[in-house]
Amino acid sequence: MKKIGLFYGSDTGTTEYVTELLLKKIKKKAHVTTYEIGEVGLLEFDDFDFLILGLSTWFDGDLQSDWEGFHDTFRRINFSGKKVAIYGVGDQIGYGEFFVDGIGILGRIVVENGGKIIGAWPTKGYDFESSVAEYLPGWFMGLAIDEDNQGEMTEPRISEWVKQIMEEFSPTNKKVAIF
Ligand SMILES: Cc1cc2nc3c(=O)[nH]c(=O)nc-3n(C[C@H](O)[C@H](O)[C@H](O)COP(=O)(O)O)c2cc1C
C-alpha cells in the first residue's frame, strides 16, 4: 500500500468536509496520514513521496488562511522525486475571476521546486471567468470543488479523481504528468 501524506486547511469547514469524503474513498486503497497545515512544518513533508494538498481560496485569489501562513515555508520545500495531487474548494459564481486560484498558487511552486503534479482535472463542467489553477487551457492543476454552487457534483467528482490519482501515483504508470 502506498504511503501518502495529506495536508489541508479550511476556514469555515468546507474543505474539511471535502477532505473527509476524500479520505473515505482513498483509505480503501492507500495508507494516508492527514495533517492540518496550520499544525505542521517542513519536516512532515520529508516523510512522503506522495502528497495530497487541499485548500480553499479566499479574498479574491488568496490562499486559505493557514496555507497563507505556511506560504513562505512551502516555497522552501524541495519537491524533486515527489508526486503531488491538489484539490481546491471555491465559488465559481461569486468569485469567478479567481476560481480556485489556490490550486494554481501551490501547483506552480511544486513545479518550480522540481515536483510532478498529478490529478489534472478538466475545466469542462464549470462556469468561471479566470483561474490561476488553469495552468494549461482546459485543465486545472487539480480537482476543483464548488460546494456553494455544485454540491451535488462533489461526491462523484471526488470518486473519479481518487481513481485517477491512485493510478497516476503508481510508479509503473507510463502516463507522463502533463504539468
Ligand atoms: C469573503 C470570501 C472570499 C472568497 N474568495 C474566493 C475566491 O477568491 N475564489 C474562490 O474560488 N472562492 C472564494 N470564496 C469561496 C470559498 O472558497 C468557499 O466558500 C469555500 O467553500 C470555503 O472553504 P473553507 O470553509 O474550507 O475555507 C470566497 C468566499 C468568501 C466568503
Show the cell assigned to 20: 473527509
What is the structure's pLDDT at 38? 97
Q: What is the pLDDT of residues 7-51, one digit of tens each?
A: 999 999 999 999 999 999 999 889 999 999 999 999 999 999 999
Would residue 7 count as lying in a domain?
A: yes
Spatial CA neighbour of 153 closest among 127, 119, 179: 127
Would residue 18 count as lying in a domain?
A: yes
Using alpha carbons, list the distances in angstroms from residue 96 to 23, 27, 54, 67. 28, 33, 19, 21
Angle subtended at Cα 99 by Cα 76 and Cα 12, rounded to the nearest 5 degrees: 75
Please say if the pLDDT value at position 165 is more than 70.
yes
Q: Amino acid identity, residue 129?
A: E
Band of pLDDT at residue 171, cut at 50, 70 and 90: confident
What is the structure's pLDDT at 174? 64
Band of pLDDT at residue 131, cut at 50, 70 and 90: very high
Question: What stretch of H or E contains 130?
Answer: none
In the structure, which protein residues have their CB atom closer than 6 angstroms to any atom of ligand 1?
10-15, 56-61, 64, 89-91, 95, 98-101, 147-148
Domain that holds residue 60: 3-169
| CATH number for 111 | 3.40.50.360
